[in-house]
Amino acid sequence: MEIPNLGFGTYQMDDRDECVRAIELAMETGYEHVDTAQMYDNEAFVAAGLDESGIDRDEVFVATKLDTDNLAYDDVKRTAKESAEKLGTDTIDLLYVHWPINTYDPAETLPALDELVEEGVIERVGLSNFRPDQLEDAIEHLDEPLYAHQVEMHPMLPQEELHELAVEHDHQLVAYCPIARGQVADVPEIQAVAEKHDGTPAQVSLAWLMGKENVTAIPKAASPDHIRENFAARDLELDDEDREKIDGIETRERIVDFDEAPWNNA
């Protein structure tokens, strides 16, 4: 199964009942891609939600991420297997390096990921939050093809260089915070496109992302209305004029940022 271009994010869903209910509803709505992480401490909840939904596990693409303290060779191997057990699967569809910080070492971390593919613990290798130069370096270290790179991406942070690299190297660029945690609703250009299509700013932002080559969006939502609203973005078709209007947005806003982030230590 290849990665669908719309997924369901589970960041901060650390309450079991909330997470299980949200996953059940997401599966009922039609999502086929769920994104979690060791850092979220909810992999077992995601598994429970998938089980409760009754969906065939072969019909859902499940991705998780290695914590930044688990990137040494032995820790990668050990904790990936622990994640697979928590997720209730023999093989994880996609495993990311969550951040290239703390214990990340390309000479140790990446060969461990290659071996996990060989052993059948994971199906595909992903990276997350890498600078362009770090991404190129990682691709050189990997024997397995890079399948996906996950980064913050939305109309106020369009990630042009990383998108060009995704197309060049033929991997998926997976957009987290795709509606900028609701901030797209305050952008006049997005408001105008939403009114034109009788949609919402969140749907416009998601449609703009999904319409790009090699891009997947993974909005997080807990309420039934937002879960369904985000999924309905798949039916919103933007025209060239809409895309030009959104591409012309000059505001730049990064939602996820901290001193140790890779882009602050180039």
Can you say whether the dihedral through the CA atoms of 129, 254, 16, 52 is positive or negative? negative
Q: What is the mean pLDDT of each run of 10 residues along the chain (266 residues)?
A: 96 96 97 98 98 95 98 98 97 98 97 98 98 98 98 98 98 98 97 98 98 97 96 97 97 96 94
Place of tokens 């509803």: 25
Q: Which residues neighbour 152 within 8 Å (Cβ) at sequence distance 6 or greater?
A: 129, 159, 175, 176, 177, 254, 255, 256
Encoded tokens for 174: 């997976």
CA nearest 210: which of 236, 188, 190? Answer: 236
Rounded distance between C-alpha atoms, residue 145 and residue 211, angstroms = 24
3: DSSP letter:
P
For residue 51, the model assigns a pLDDT of 97
Q: What is the DSSP string of 166-230?
A: HHHHT-EEEEESTTGGGGGGG-HHHHHHHHHTT--HHHHHHHHHHTSTTEEE--B--SHHHHHHH
Helix (H, G, I), strand (E, B) or coil at 42: coil
Rg (CA), the chain: 18
Catalytic residues: 40
Strand partners, 174: 150, 216
For residue 266, the model assigns a pLDDT of 83
Encoded tokens for 95: 């495993």
CA nearest 12: which of 1, 22, 26? Answer: 22
